[in-house]
Copies of this chain bind each other. A is one copy, B any other.
Amino acid sequence: MSRTLAQLAQHLSAQLHGDPQLEITAVSSIASARPGDLVFVDNPRHLSTALASQATAIIAPDFAAPAPNPPRSTKPLLIARQPRLAFARAAAFLAQSQQPTPSIHPSALIDPAAHLDPTVTIEANVVIRSNVRIGPRSVIGAGSILGPDVTIGSDCRLYPLVVLYPNTTLHDRVIIHAGTILGSDGFGYVRDSATGRYEKFPQIGRLVLEDDVEVGANSTIDRGALDETRIRRGTKLDNLVHVGHNVSIGEDVVIAAQTGVSGSAIIEDQVIIGGQVGIADHVRIEAGAILGAQSGIPSKKVIRGKGIVFWGTPARPIKQYLKDLATLARLSKAS
């Protein structure tokens, strides 16, 4: 389905310069734009390329707005204060029309004691156990396995081969990519001092992902040992991320690929974490701190500093880390 420029302008609260009846069918990059496509520009240097492309219309900030007595613009423009954001919203608006028709594939194995909203979509070979609840318009990808007592809110999207251990709870608009495991046992053992052998500490708590959380592919998030692991509203995790038991992650946090968060760590709101970062157990990352890729936070440390970048293992403010590196390089050269 397509949207007219008038519809897009209204949806995006953007100012339209051009024919409001033109139809947009997709978003695209400038390089691969075809007729019917919408592109965006957030840098004046790219405007002429966008104008020369085959795109039907361009989202751009003020600088692109036609002058009072404009030369005839070659393309319709949607003027938006945050053009990248407007482009993202335009894409979502166009995609809305592509929602699957609700259906339950006949191969799905659904326990009679599950409660599915009539508008859900259940793909092939899904297994749904007893007391599972799934809210309106949620989509469960092929081959996913939902254990007993799982709760999924509305408008969630699970891609194929996702596993939810028993008792896992997803609130609304949660997206889980393929192969991700939610609610697995934490890594907790007790060593018998008499024999030196490890015995399993109970891992019987639960996992809660709040509204608008997205988790990439093949990640793993453990449930609480006795109580809960919780990831709060709006937080985004990349692929192959590990989150241990009893971890608490705040709102609007982003965590890049292959980062690991050990048991009982606390990550507060709006923290930004690069790839391959290691956060040891019982660490606290306070609100708004930024951890550079591959940095490491030793056990029980507190990282504090809204907007400050930390780097290295053990992590220190990047200014100090870079000074340490420069000092070492200088001494090494002199030796």
Residues of A within 8 A of B (CB): 26-29, 31-32, 82, 84-85, 87-89, 91-92, 95, 105, 107, 109, 123-125, 127, 141-143, 145, 147, 159-161, 163, 165, 177-179, 181, 184-185, 187, 189-193, 196-202, 204, 212, 214, 216-220, 222, 225-227, 234, 236, 238-240, 242, 244, 252, 254, 256-258, 260, 262, 270, 274-276, 278, 280, 293-294, 296, 298, 312-314, 320, 323-332, 335
Contacts and interface: CB of A to CB of B under 8 A. Distances in A.
Contacts of A189: 88, 236, 254
Contacts of A320: 329, 332
Q: How many copies of this chain does one complex carry?
A: 3
A119 B186 CA distance: 28
A332 B252 CA distance: 35
A257 B242 contact: yes
A252 to B, nearest CB: 6
B260 A257 contact: yes
Contacts of A107: 109
A241 to B, nearest CB: 9
21 contacts: A26-B204, A92-B199, A124-B127, A142-B145, A159-B165, A163-B178, A179-B218, A179-B220, A184-B216, A185-B216, A218-B240, A220-B239, A220-B240, A222-B239, A240-B242, A242-B258, A257-B260, A258-B258, A258-B260, A260-B275, A326-B332
Contacts of A27: 202, 204, 226
Contacts of A184: 159, 177-178, 216-217, 239
A106 to B, nearest CB: 9
Nearest to A292: B298
Contacts of A238: 187, 242
Contacts of A143: 125, 127, 143, 145, 161
Contact of A200 (B26, B92, B313, B328): B92
Contacts of A32: 226-227
A46 to B, nearest CB: 14
A185 B181 contact: no
Given A181-B218, A184-B216, 13 more contacts: A125-B125, A160-B163, A177-B184, A181-B239, A197-B234, A197-B252, A198-B234, A222-B239, A238-B242, A240-B240, A314-B325, A323-B332, A324-B328
Contact of A329 (B147, B252, B324): B324
A294 B275 contact: no
A270 B160 contact: no
